[in-house]
Amino acid sequence: GAGVSQSPRYKVAKRGQDVALRCDPISGHVSLFWYQQALGQGPEFLTYFQNEAQLDKSGLPSDRFFAERPEGSVSTLKIQRTQQEDSAVYLCASSQTEPGTAASQNTGELFFGEGSRLTVL
Amino acid sequence: AQSVTQLDSHVSVSEGTPVLLRCNYSSSYSPSLFWYVQHPNKGLQLLLKYTSAATLVKGINGFEAEFKKSETSFHLTKPSAHMSDAAEYFCVVSDRGNTGFQKLVFGTGTRLLVSP
């Protein structure tokens, strides 16, 4: 597709339910990021993939959060036993690492999806 | 760790008047800095970025920002506000993750309100 696509756009879950949020990055983009944006706050980093490899998951708030990108394209963020504090907008972003540059020099633009708004009751 | 501070949570201007959104950064090395805009129910969009080239950076929709190392600032400006500029604006600094990739660290945002 033309942009980063996320689904569902809205999800209401009862406390204790498991949820799965999907991200379709821009075709060919190597890097994929997940961010969490609480109400009235800026997005906060959760995890990063380079192709299928999860290179950094230091931002995941607890072991109830799990992300995968098995074929280096679509990614899923799973939250087990949801809690009220998990309510937020979950943003996915992708970028095309410039060929020939080290990852540490990649300052290319991130393209964000519209997010999945999760409300836990 | 790198961080940014957005000094105003809300800024109100009249259409046709100048816009100033303030941002200060903290960085232990030469930073990469960005401004992103978020319209309601839309994805974040890059306005402009500074990556150690020219200190005055021009972006889309008439916005620009000036990197001032002596003041550790990266304020966003526009000469004349338009109604369509009403949105949430985020100042962002790039930080090196634990494998060398650049992860974005967002400020808390400034909501720009434009009145007719």
Across the interface, whether the CB atoms of A110 and B104 are under 8 A apart is answered yes
Upper half-sphere CA count for residue A30 (Cβ side, 13 Å): 12
Residue A102: band (very low, low, confident or very high) from pLDDT cuts 50, 70, 90: very low
Q: pLDDT digit string (tens) for B6-25?
A: 999 999 999 999 999 999 99
Mean pLDDT, residues B41-46 taken together: 87
Mean pLDDT, residues B75-93 taken together: 96
Q: How many CB atoms lie within 10 A of CB A79?
A: 24
B102-106/B87-96 β-pairing: antiparallel
Backbone region of residue A115 per phi and psi (left: phi > 0; alpha: psi in -120 to 50; beta: other values): left
Which of A84, A87, A116 shows the shortest CA–CA distance to A15? A84
Residues of chain A found within 8 Å of residue B102, distances taken between Cβ atoms: 103-104, 106-107
* pLDDT value at B76 more than 70: yes
A74-88, A105-119, B43-57 — which is least confidently predicted?
A105-119
Cross-chain CB nearest to B103 (options A45, A91, A109) = A45
| Residue B31 contacts A, CB cutoff 8 Å | no
Residues of chain B found within 8 Å of residue A93, distances taken between Cβ atoms: 44
Across the interface, whether the CB atoms of B42 and A33 are under 8 A apart is answered no
Across the interface, whether the CB atoms of A103 and B99 are under 8 A apart is answered yes
B19-21/B73-78 β-pairing: antiparallel
Residues of chain A found within 8 Å of residue B99, distances taken between Cβ atoms: 55-56, 103
Non-local (6+) Cβ contacts of A101 within 8 A are: none
